[in-house]
Amino acid sequence: MRIYIRTYGCKVNQVESEELAARFVAAGHELVRDEEQAQLYVINTCTVTGEADAKVRKGVRHAASLPRVEQVLVTGCGAAMHADELAALSEKVVVVRSGIGDGIQFWGPRSASGYPSRPLKPTLRSVSETRALSDDPAASSPYRDSDTAPSARAVAAVDASFHTRVAVKVQDGCENFCAYCIVPYARGASRSMRMADLLQQVAELAQGGTQEIVLTGINIGRYCDPETSADLPALIRNLHEQTGIHRIRLSSIEPPDVTDELCALLAEGILCEHLHIPLQSGSDRVLEAMGRRYTTADFTTALARVRAAALQTAVTTDVIVGFPTETDADFEATCEFCRAQAVSKIHVFRFSPRAGTPAASLSPLDPQQVAARAARLRELSAELAAAYAQSQLGRMLEWVVERIDPACGQATLTSREHLSMRISAADRLTGELLSLPFDMMKSMRDAKSKPAGLSAPDVSED
């Protein structure tokens, strides 16, 4: 069966799509680069904003319109929240409400190996007609993530960056229930993968040549091994000591979870010197209205702890502009706070009301005002990114050869601090480790790669 997979949304969605692709490959199916050649078109959805929902609906209609596509399998957070609406878009659509985020699951005829042996032909077009969303992810999922982690060989078959960086999902779900966020409703309660399974998975990746893993989840600071109660720092230390993996990176970590134990891993060089710590607002008044569980003072303390452990650590962040209670003074406070904290990049998001969340009932701000604030914050982000890069100029850094472009004879390198640089590809190998000084003239923004059968994730900051 020829399969194409399109991904919308966050890094967790991308990881789940890659794992799904690996399972398909392991089952003998073919991933195609050209969506028009697909028999089965899989869409892994996002519902974090209204814009994300609109993109998903457009994508589903487009997939269903392709003449060779026999079925469109829709899964992910959008499927969990809008199953019937998505199923109604086309007779080709099958919606799989994927166990509130507990891995991608299949519904319909499966072979003995657990994978579809032919395009799915269910008698009902929506899982919501036969299975309710359960508070227990295992109750609505035909398998657990730990039971189906793809092998290194299967991952390598679909992921061009296999020898450099592989994202590893360690946790799912969230219980923070921020006032603006739909994710806890779509993903369910926090739950963690077994550390024993993760150790085995990462050891296999390391043996297969992977240089770096990125630990990923919805709220990974809440990681807790269901067998030993080991927390995230303990997991990282065990991965470092027992698997042979060279570099360990975090996808994102909440301010309250930037603990002394985590920073000790930075100081020891076990954790890459780059942390993404969401801020969302530099105004305590707005943070409280958002339902965030920290203050700007807490964020300041977290960054001070990081820099005391490893001074050169790059700290990137998220900021939401245009939250309904945000005043001009609140926005100015956010700009000043980001500047004072010297973050190295700001991912800027405009507030988007999500039905069912407390913030959806608040009166929105003027869209033009919000757009102007977003543009100004993006300018500040560019200024801060340039300042951080300048601070690293000439510094000897460890680089990994991310990929090689034969067409231009250039190799793309990524440092532990998540800086990028291009050099001549002569005599270079993908996955090779190098020690070179940072040269801003060779720096670049990291381009998204597109493995066979996998679209690059459709993510927009603004």
Q: Give the domain CATH number at 28.
A: 3.40.50.12160
Residue 266 lies in a domain: no
State how many domains the chain has: 2
Classify residue 171 by burial, with Cβ atoms within 10 Å: 0-12, 13-18, 19+. Answer: buried
Give the separation between CA 58 and CA 249, rounded to whole angstroms. Answer: 34
Q: What does the pLDDT read at residue 165?
A: 84
Residue 126 lies in a domain: yes
- Which of 27-31, 143-147, 231-235, 368-372 shows the lowest per-residue confidence on average (mean pLDDT)? 143-147
Query: Which of the residue ranges 20-34, 144-158, 301-315, 442-456 has the most confident prediction, judged by mean pLDDT?
Result: 301-315
Residue 243 lies in a domain: no
Q: What does the pLDDT read at residue 21?
A: 86
> What average pLDDT is seen over the chain?
85
pLDDT tens for each residue of 281-296? 999 999 999 999 999 9
Residue 370 lies in a domain: no
Place of tokens 């659509």: 93
Give the range of the structural domain holding residue 405, as residue numbers without chain letter. 396-438
Backbone phi, psi, residue 431, to 5°: 90, -5
Split at pLDDT 50, 70, 90, the class of 156 is: low
Report residue 164 as tokens.
């450099």
Q: What does the pLDDT read at residue 121?
A: 38
Residue 172 lies in a domain: no
Residue 237 lies in a domain: no
Split at pLDDT 50, 70, 90, the class of 160 is: low
pTM (2 d.p.): 0.84
| Residue 450, amino acid | K
Look at residue 255 and give its three-state secondary structure.
Answer: helix
- Which of 72-81, 130-139, 413-422, 448-457 shows the lowest per-residue confidence on average (mean pLDDT)? 130-139
Q: Which of 75, 106, 131 is the last residue of a domain?
A: 131
Q: What does the pLDDT read at residue 51?
A: 85
Query: Which of the residue ranges 137-141, 174-178, 426-430 has the most confident prediction, judged by mean pLDDT?
Result: 174-178
The more confident residue out of 314 and 103 is 314
Closest CA to 147 of 100, 204, 193: 193
Contact criterion met (CB below 8 Å) for 349 and 371: no
Closest CA to 419 of 436, 405, 407: 436
pLDDT tens for each residue of 99-136? 433 333 443 333 333 334 333 433 233 333 333 333 34
Contact criterion met (CB below 8 Å) for 312 and 273: yes
Q: Which of 91, 107, 131 is the last residue of a domain?
A: 131
Q: What does the pLDDT read at residue 118?
A: 39
C-alpha dihedral (164, 213, 21, 172), degrees to nearest 10: -160
Residue 110 lies in a domain: yes
Contact criterion met (CB below 8 Å) for 20 and 143: no
Residue 19 lies in a domain: yes
Q: What does the pLDDT read at residue 284?
A: 98
Closest CA to 127 of 168, 169, 174, 82: 82
Give the separation between CA 456 and CA 18, rounded to whole angstroms. Answer: 11
Q: If residue 31 lies in a helix (H) or strand (E), which one and from where to where?
A: strand 30-31
Q: Which of 131, 153, 170 is the last residue of a domain?
A: 131
- Which of 21-25, 197-201, 316-320, 412-416 shows the lowest per-residue confidence on average (mean pLDDT)? 21-25
Q: What does the pLDDT read at residue 17?
A: 87
